[in-house]
Amino acid sequence: MKDAHDQIFSSHKLLSMEAQVGMSSHGGVVEGPTAVKFLQKQQTVAPSPSPRQHQHQQSAEIGTVPQLLAGGIAGAFSKTCTAPLARLTILFQVQGMHSEVALLTRPCIWNEALRIANEEGFRAFWKGNLVTIAHRLPYTAVNFYAYEQFKKLLKSVPRIGNNSESAAAEACVHFVGGGMSGITAAMATYPLDLVRTRLAAQRSTIYYHGIGHALRTIIRDEGCIGLYKGLGATLLGVGPSIAISFSVYEMLRSNWKLHRPDDSTVMVSLACGSLSGIASSTATFPLDLVRRRKQLEGVGGRARVYNTGLFGTFGHIVKSEGFRGLYRGILPEYYKVVPGVGIVFMTYETLKKFLSDNSRF
């Protein structure tokens, strides 16, 4: 998370973060690093371009609003392409909530995919995807704006501002600013994330008919606070997700460049971004599972399953389902990381080039 001398990357950085591959985001907060985010970081430390290269770079730059638009569309397109895997993840995550543990079968992606196709129809793989798309642009905008404000605030601190050229101060600004902006964006758009989970988790019994109906029903039956169930687990995952994805990416990239300095920057970014996304997902997946289950508490008037707080819920799951219960649905989560990173990167770069070319006319 770095700015291109405080302009290029600051505008790319947060619009890319929401399209992360690994946790959604975990609620659309921080789902692992994206290729775009780290590619921009690498571009800022590249050697100074020649006048001709500089002219080409300037011609490829676009304004803040087009950048936000390109990032939002890239994130939405990536989420749409990987939506079937995302829905499988959610269905597996919530399997143990209202089922007897003894009756639970080992999650099988193929069997569940066949069940969805046969019982619900092919379109059911995209249940809840519309609200995911609706979530993208406001989340991107809030995340970007909040990051800029937190960055200014942090740089106003004398100890940081006076050492703005140091790598440690810069890393502090981006890590803390990124974490706080992620928390702010998550809180602002969390109801949409909750609705997405409830729509995607519906199987044969339908409680909610669309986004508007879901919002109205939840407020009527559970009050406004019902729209924020599971928020604690989401916010708790922001810091670890950023820290793990950032540090793993940097470690992998440094080692790669040390041993294979001539490899393509794009290839390095995609590979390291995918691996760091997997690492971040692995570490924060239990929090995401708890978040999903908390989001589904009280659906359709059902009795509460978890009557304790966040850590009590962890204990309940481990006691009833074993440690492996915290990782139900991790395989489809892994499978969507690599295509998710690639789709975001290619879509974002294509849109950026298109918008840049059209801005000249």
pLDDT at 61 over 80: no
More confident residue, 57 or 237: 237
> What is the pLDDT confidence band of residue 82, given thresholds at 50, 70 and 90?
very high
Rounded distance, CA 178 to CA 172, Å?
10
- The predicted model scores a pTM of 0.78
CB count within 10 Å of CB 25 equals 30
Q: How many residues does the chain have?
A: 361
- Decide if 310 contacts 233 (C-beta within 8 A): yes
Rounded distance, CA 231 to CA 68, Å?
25
- Decide if 214 contacts 198 (C-beta within 8 A): yes
pLDDT at 103 over 80: no
Question: What pLDDT is stored for residue 52 in this prediction?
Answer: 46
**The amino acid at 345:** F
Rounded distance, CA 232 to CA 361, Å?
48
Closest-CA residue to 269 (of 43, 8, 71): 43
Question: What pLDDT is stored for residue 361 in this prediction?
Answer: 52
Over range 314-327, report the average pLDDT.
Answer: 90
> What is the pLDDT confidence band of residue 99, given thresholds at 50, 70 and 90?
low
Percent of the chain residues past pLDDT 70, beyond the cut: 77
State in words which class domain 8-45+58-102+126-200+207-358 has: mainly alpha
More confident residue, 4 or 148: 148
Rounded distance, CA 17 to CA 1, Å?
9
pLDDT at 17 over 50: no
> What is the pLDDT confidence band of residue 31, given thresholds at 50, 70 and 90?
very low
- Decide if 182 contacts 242 (C-beta within 8 A): yes
Phi/psi-derived region of residue 69, left when phi > 0, alpha when psi is between -120 and 50, beta in every other case:
alpha
Over range 216-224, report the average pLDDT.
Answer: 92
Question: What pLDDT is stored for residue 246 in this prediction?
Answer: 78
- Decide if 175 contacts 102 (C-beta within 8 A): no
- Decide if 215 contacts 144 (C-beta within 8 A): no
Taken in order 156, 157, 158, 160, the sign of the CA dihedral is: negative
- Decide if 228 contacts 234 (C-beta within 8 A): no
More confident residue, 228 or 354: 228
- Decide if 85 contacts 335 (C-beta within 8 A): yes
Question: What pLDDT is stored for residue 241 in this prediction?
Answer: 84
DSSP state of 104: P
Least confident of 29-33, 69-73, 148-152, 303-307: 29-33
pLDDT at 169 over 80: no
DSSP state of 213: H
Question: What pLDDT is stored for residue 271 in this prediction?
Answer: 87
Percent of the chain residues past pLDDT 90, beyond the cut: 24
pLDDT at 180 over 70: yes
Over range 206-222, report the average pLDDT.
Answer: 91
Least confident of 96-100, 140-144, 233-237, 280-284: 96-100
Question: What pLDDT is stored for residue 144 in this prediction?
Answer: 81
